[in-house]
Amino acid sequence: MQPIFIDQIDRLSLKRTSSISLTTLNLKQHQFILTTSQIGNNRLANTTKPKNTFHKFFKIKSWLKLFGVLSFVLPLGYFMTSNAGSLDKALFTPVHSETNASINNDLEQIIVNDTLTVATSNDSSLYFGEDGYEHGFGVDVMRGYTDKLGVTLNTIVAANDSDALNLVKTGQADVALTTAYPSNFDKISKTDTQTAQFNHIHLSCGQDYLSSHGLNQQISLQVPSSSTKLSKSANEFLCDSNVISTNQRLAEFYTQNVFDNDYSEQKFAKVMQTNLPNYKTAFQNNAKKHDLDWELLVAMGYQESQLNPLAISPTGVRGLMMLTNDTADAMGVTDRINPNQSIHGGAKYFNQIQQMFGDIPGSDRIWFALASYNMGPQAVKNIQANLNQQGKNGNSWAQVYRYMAEHRNSNRRYVQCMHYVTNIRGFLETLKLGNPNSANDSFNDNLMVKVS
């Protein structure tokens, strides 16, 4: 699902409305499909909640999901902070005691609507959204939560934490994902008492592992204080020991320390400045031919060979995209050290791999394809099969990455694969953020300024 950006909301003058249209009735499947009413000539899906008069039309599957969710929501203790100047250890902190007792079906409403709308902002710890990519530690944790609920994650991208909170207060989002937490919350809410009506739920459940990966330790979920069941449900999910283990691995994948020192970052920028211009057209043409992002191919090429067409490994793979003999033959490459042929072969092969994982959600498919490019599609599918046999989600990259991390001592290929995909993600984000205009031939000037 494509994110809705705050400027779009402003243009639409979007307001929460209770008007709905019943578009589909399927008695055979016992389900109704509810959609939001049209706002002017525009439509924003999955943000409008139905009137109570339509509650009798709820989908049966929604009630089943609701029963499953409520069965694990238990009363939780409240923990207050002892030092406002340090990282708060509160996991579930009510900062406003007033709660509308009549609003107690917040979680039920989300289950019935099949959507949790999360407002957040572009932040290295929360969300990365450029050129169709939509990922990040914070949003992926929320994706795990919506998978647990059995609903769809809908993301609205705001300019900053304050705007994200405003989207929740005005009813345009259910929750906000921010880097604000009780110790620094007043900085963005001092002039607005309404922001006090939030429960702050720490995404790491108070575990101290985010900062070691360069992520903001104070990432938190802001839930309206009236949404008591949702607050308890989210807090219990995030503090589940199994979820904590998965999120720790997810933080490892989303590390902001891909460049472990200034030299490695400056070397990357230098290669982009000196080598890339020679091959940029080949990257762009082959990406277009195979429906790929050319900067993703560049990031892959840097990880493979640092854009060196003469590169060769001890195992015999060679060329800019480091193709094996078998892969080169299959892709029609006759000269692996020819950079144009190598880029063509790599792009064609990667496109074929992506099609093998067509059942994977778009936000994760890129990571599955990269892992397969590195160690072969069958190795990845074996991991998926093992996860499915364990009752886990084999289509979740967070689960696949955790599996490799937990079995890295018994399979060294997993270690290489984890570094491979993680590094390419970091290189890709660096290219995107250092290159606001990918069609500009002088984009490397922006990149050099960033790392200087």
- Convert the pLDDT of each residue in 149-185 to its tens digit: 999 999 999 999 999 999 999 999 999 999 976 554 4
Q: Which residue bears the tokens 């009413």?
A: 37
Look at residue 395 in the predicted model and tell me its pLDDT: 97
Rounded CA gap, 88 and 200, in Å? 10
On average, the pLDDT of the chain sits at 79
Residues shown for the chain = 452
The two most distant CA atoms of the chain are separated, in Å, by: 72
**pLDDT at position 72 over 70:** no
Rounded CA gap, 162 and 173, in Å? 13
Angle between helix axes 362-375 and 339-356 (nearest 10 degrees) is 120
Average pLDDT of 19-25? 30
- Among the ranges given (50-59, 269-278, 313-322), the one the predictor scored with the smallest mean pLDDT: 50-59
**pLDDT at position 10 over 70:** no
Look at residue 382 in the predicted model and tell me its pLDDT: 98
**pLDDT at position 384 over 70:** yes
**pLDDT at position 420 over 90:** yes
Count of C-beta atoms within a 10 Å radius of residue 68: 13
Enter the tokens of residue 199.
């429960």
The burial of 227, by beta-carbon neighbours within 10 Å (0-12 exposed, 13-18 middle, 19 or more buried), is given as buried
**pLDDT at position 75 over 80:** no
Look at residue 182 in the predicted model and tell me its pLDDT: 54
What confidence tens digit (pLDDT) does each residue in 38-51 have? Answer: 333 332 333 333 33
- DSSP secondary structure letters along 218-263: T-EEEEETT-HHHHHHHHHHHT-HHHHHHHHHHHHHT-S-SS-SHH
Enter the tokens of residue 452.
């200087």
Region for residue 411 given its phi and psi (left: phi exceeds 0; alpha: psi -120 to 50; beta: otherwise): beta
More confident residue, 171 or 449: 171
More confident residue, 105 or 328: 328
- Contact status, residue 395 vs residue 359, Cβ threshold 8 Å: yes
**pLDDT at position 292 over 60:** yes
Look at residue 68 in the predicted model and tell me its pLDDT: 52
- Among the ranges given (52-61, 197-206, 287-296, 390-399), the one the predictor scored with the smallest mean pLDDT: 52-61
Please name which of 373, 367, 278, 358 lies closest in space to residue 323, comparing C-alpha atoms. 373
Rounded CA gap, 288 and 294, in Å? 8
Look at residue 250 in the predicted model and tell me its pLDDT: 98
Look at residue 33 in the predicted model and tell me its pLDDT: 29
Residues forming the active site: 304
Q: What percent of the chain has pLDDT over 70?
A: 69
Look at residue 196 in the predicted model and tell me its pLDDT: 57
What confidence tens digit (pLDDT) does each residue in 216-269 have? Answer: 999 999 999 999 999 999 999 999 999 999 999 999 999 999 998 899 999 999
Rounded CA gap, 189 and 127, in Å? 22
Per-residue pLDDT band at 441 (split at 50, 70, 90): very low
- Contact status, residue 230 vs residue 145, Cβ threshold 8 Å: no
Look at residue 31 in the predicted model and tell me its pLDDT: 32
**pLDDT at position 342 over 70:** yes
* 0.85 surpassed by pTM: no
Q: Which residue bears the tokens 């989207």?
A: 167
What are the structural domains of the chain? 107-254 (3.40.190.10), 262-433 (1.10.530.10)
**pLDDT at position 69 over 90:** no
